Amino acid sequence: MSETFTSASDEAFGLRDHARLSFDLDADICVVGAGLAGLTVALEAARLGASVAVLEGRHIGWSASGHQLGTVMPGYSLPLQDLVERVGFEDARELWMLSKEGAEFVRANATEELMPGIAPSDGALEVSNVDDGERLIGRLQMLNEDFDTEVEGWQIDRVREQLKTDHYFHGVYYPKAFQVDGRKYVHGLAALARRAGARIFEDTPVVSIDPSGIRKRIVTPSARLRASHIVLAGNVHLGAPQRRLWETLLPVWRYAGVTAPLGDRLADAITFKGSVMDSDSVDHFRIVDGDRLMWASPETTWAARPERFAGAIRRRINAVFPRLGPVEISETWGGATGQTVHGMPQIGQLRKGLWVASGFGRQGMNTAAMAGQLIARSILFGDDRWRLFSPFELVWAGGPTGRVAGQLVGMWGRASSAAAGALARYRERARLQENLREARLAEANRAAAARPPRRRPPGQMQPPPAEYPEGEGG
Ligand SMILES: Cc1cc2nc3c(=O)[nH]c(=O)nc-3n(C[C@H](O)[C@H](O)[C@H](O)COP(=O)(O)OP(=O)(O)OC[C@H]3O[C@@H](n4cnc5c(N)ncnc54)[C@H](O)[C@@H]3O)c2cc1C
């Protein structure tokens, strides 16, 4: 089924009730934040029999969770090789397997039966901006053999058969990755959590918490709540209730847009049906509604109106796929992702009964799902696999100075990625021209060897040697 890019209405999921918490309440678990992370904790814990209250300051999926592209893949923001270097092979493998479980959780819940209109489709392709086949081979071996992940290496020709651009070189294809309508998924999670018995209160910001004692206290402007466990899933928006935790995340706003229908032009430029992302994490796109292109690229470390980036997205699409010609961006949106200093999410218990699930960066579909499951199962069953995340401590992200630095590093990263890409394309063109020249020379030599020697008319003298070889004269 193809997905349709209208805003996912709550009515479609039976969510007419936007109740604010206006009375004091007791629960086993209080979840702060109704994004992907908070709602997965709520769903899993409610399914396991706990009484759960979710407090959301705005509305369900208000930020990144309701404004993302819905690509679900294994892994984390931190590249796999860096993960191995950081924690060693065994733990890296376990962490990788957890990230796959997160993706499987999404697959099991994002079905047409449970979430009508969710439109799952298969396959994701990670493309390289530079011509580096060696690195690709190493990566494929590692994923296939050591990390039980089905992947295929695509040669340049195959990538360019599906994506008609010289911007990309080799590719890693993940046949088991998939995508869903990201906006509908977060509302679908809320509907499932409610069905399982969780209570979700919107327009209910948590202004303070007191995590001491067995029954912890949570204060909102209109009511109080008491719970044995609090799960902080507020991402970069958490603010006052845990300021020090909040300061360990660098907020990065990412913006996306979708084009007006492009007709046959799109099929002419892109035949790959899944998600595409480049190895430098600059672009992320896929086809939606049959002939529209959904594209995420620009980033800032401050909040800006997404409409401002329509031009940047349009220019980016034209730079990568010039054959598409002019495109019109008909809708834009954005959300804040939380980046940690080490690139791994924050998952664990800060003190008895006080939990954190945040910092999922650009890859929150599988990792937030995994965090939600781990925390709910730890609270209810004592599953302590979340401890695998202990090496990744809460590190201060640098406050406002960190944001400026983050923006500069991001800009530098994009500029150096663009420069590396341009250099790789230049080298490729130079190599092609060189091959052409060599072929012409070989052809000329062959022709010269085949030609019979010309006879000089009798009596004609040998010409004197030229003073300067032809073309070098001054
Ligand atoms: C353009 C874009 C495209 C993306 N594409 C993908 C993709 O294709 N695949 C993928 O895996 N990831 C993607 N991501 C990343 C993914 O969206 C995030 O990692 C994920 O949504 C984070 O979820 P979260 O629940 O931690 O945070 P959020 O979605 O930020 O949710 C946190 C919620 O907590 C609430 N809150 C905060 N503080 C309080 C408080 N004090 N009281 C009450 N409520 C509070 C907020 O209002 C908010 O609703 C994308 C992100 C963007 C922006």
Convert the pLDDT of each residue in 58-80 to its tens digit. 999 999 999 999 999 999 999 99
Indicate which atom in ligand 1 lies nearest the CA of residue 55: 43
**368 Cα–ligand 1 center, Å:** 9
Superfamily classification of domain 1-120+180-249+340-397: FAD/NAD(P)-binding domain (3.50.50.60)
Whether residue 460 is predicted with pLDDT greater than 70 in this model: the reply is no
If one compares 369 and 469, the residue with the highest pLDDT of the two is 369
Structure confidence by residue, pLDDT tens digits, 188-207 = 999 999 999 999 999 999 99
Structure tokens at 137: 């081979």
Task: Work out the pLDDT band at 283, boundaries 50, 70, 90.
Answer: very high
Residue nearest to atom 9 of ligand 1 (CA): 71
**90 Cα–ligand 1 center, Å:** 30
The torsion angles phi and psi of 149, rounded to 5 degrees, stand at: -120, 125
Q: Report pLDDT for 241.
A: 85
Coil/strand/helix, residue 150 = coil
**344 Cα–ligand 1 center, Å:** 15
Whether residue 165 is predicted with pLDDT greater than 60 in this model: the reply is yes
**For residue 72, what is the enclosing H or E element?**
strand 71-72
Q: Report pLDDT for 224.
A: 97
Structure tokens at 181: 């309508």
Indicate which atom in ligand 1 lies nearest the CA of residue 71: 8
**232 Cα–ligand 1 center, Å:** 13
Q: In this structure, how many other beta carbons lie within 10 angstroms of the beta carbon of residue 16?
A: 8
Q: Report pLDDT for 464.
A: 43
Residue type, 150: E
Task: Work out the pLDDT band at 134, boundaries 50, 70, 90.
Answer: confident
Task: Work out the pLDDT band at 448, boundaries 50, 70, 90.
Answer: confident
Q: Which of 297-311, 405-419, 458-472 has the lowest mean pLDDT?
A: 458-472
If one compares 363 and 139, the residue with the highest pLDDT of the two is 363
Classify domain 121-178+252-336+399-443 by CATH architecture.
Answer: 2-Layer Sandwich (3.30)
Structure tokens at 110: 């994002």
Q: Which long-range contacts (CB under 8 A, 24 or more apart) does 16-23 make?
A: 18/59, 18/202, 18/203, 19/201, 19/202, 20/201, 20/202, 20/203, 20/204, 20/222, 21/53, 21/55, 21/201, 21/204, 21/220, 21/222, 21/223, 21/225, 22/222, 22/223, 23/223
Percent of the chain exceeding pLDDT 90 equals 73
Task: Work out the pLDDT band at 435, boundaries 50, 70, 90.
Answer: confident
**327 Cα–ligand 1 center, Å:** 29
Residue 46 to residue 44: CA distance in whole angstroms: 6
Question: Taking the alpha carbons of 10, 18, 29, 240 in that order, is the dihedral positive or negative?
Answer: positive
Mean pLDDT across 216-241: 96
**85 Cα–ligand 1 center, Å:** 28
Residue type, 154: W
Q: Considering only CA atoms, which of 189, 230, 211 is closest in space to residue 55?
A: 230
Residue 277 to residue 123: CA distance in whole angstroms: 12
Task: Work out the pLDDT band at 432, boundaries 50, 70, 90.
Answer: confident
For the ranges 127-136, 297-306, 317-326, 450-459, the one whose mean pLDDT is highest: 317-326
Q: In this structure, how many other beta carbons lie within 10 angstroms of the beta carbon of residue 388?
A: 19
Whether residue 302 is predicted with pLDDT greater than 80 in this model: the reply is yes
**348 Cα–ligand 1 center, Å:** 18
Strand pairing partners for 52? 29
Task: Work out the pLDDT band at 406, boundaries 50, 70, 90.
Answer: low
Whether residue 179 is predicted with pLDDT greater than 50 in this model: the reply is yes
Any alpha helices (H) in 271-363, and if so which ranges?
310-320
Q: Report pLDDT for 1.
A: 40
**359 Cα–ligand 1 center, Å:** 9
Task: Work out the pLDDT band at 413, boundaries 50, 70, 90.
Answer: low
Q: Which of 138-142, 411-415, 431-435 has the lowest mean pLDDT?
A: 411-415
Contact 71, 179 (CB under 8 A): yes
Q: Report pLDDT for 395.
A: 79
**175 Cα–ligand 1 center, Å:** 26
Under 8 Å CB-to-CB from 325, ≥6 apart: which residues? 265, 318
Q: Report pLDDT for 454.
A: 60
Q: Report pLDDT for 290.
A: 95
Whether residue 467 is predicted with pLDDT greater than 60 in this model: the reply is no
Residue nearest to atom 3 of ligand 1 (CA): 68
Contact 398, 246 (CB under 8 A): no
Give the CA-trace dihedral at 66, 295, 283, 364, to 10 degrees: 20
Lining residues, ligand 1, CB within 6 Å: 32-38, 55-58, 62-65, 67-71, 205-206, 233-235, 237-239, 241, 254, 256, 296, 334-335, 337, 358, 360-365, 368
Residue whose structure tokens are 């925390």: 375
The torsion angles phi and psi of 453, rounded to 5 degrees, stand at: -60, 140
If one compares 443 and 221, the residue with the highest pLDDT of the two is 221
Indicate which atom in ligand 1 lies nearest the CA of residue 65: 21
- Mean of pLDDT over the chain: 88
Q: Give the distance between the most distant pair of CA atoms in the chain.
A: 119
Structure tokens at 374: 């781990």
Residue nearest to atom 18 of ligand 1 (CA): 364
Task: Work out the pLDDT band at 470, boundaries 50, 70, 90.
Answer: very low
Q: Report pLDDT for 2.
A: 43
Q: Considering only CA atoms, which of 18, 24, 352 is closest in space to residue 218?
A: 24
Pocket test for ligand 1, best of 69, 220, 366 (most atoms within 8 A of CB): 69
Q: Which long-range contacts (CB under 8 A, 24 or more apart) does 86-95 make?
A: 86/342, 86/391, 87/388, 87/391, 89/146, 91/388, 91/391, 93/146, 93/147, 94/385, 94/388, 95/388, 95/389
Q: Report pLDDT for 350.
A: 94
Whether residue 14 is predicted with pLDDT greater than 50 in this model: the reply is no
State the span(s) of the chain assigned CATH 3.30.9.10.
121-178+252-336+399-443
Please state, in angstroms and as integers, the Cα–Cα distance from residue 203 to each residue in 70, 227, 347, following that order: 25, 20, 25
Residue 107 to residue 125: CA distance in whole angstroms: 18
State the span(s) of the chain assigned CATH 3.50.50.60.
1-120+180-249+340-397
Q: In this structure, how many other beta carbons lie within 10 angstroms of the beta carbon of residue 199?
A: 18
**294 Cα–ligand 1 center, Å:** 19
Residue 35 to residue 312: CA distance in whole angstroms: 27
Q: Which of 39-48, 168-177, 395-404, 455-464 has the lowest mean pLDDT?
A: 455-464
Q: Report pLDDT for 6.
A: 39
Residue nearest to atom 14 of ligand 1 (CA): 362
Pocket test for ligand 1, best of 65, 126, 186, 285 (most atoms within 8 A of CB): 65
Coil/strand/helix, residue 335 = strand
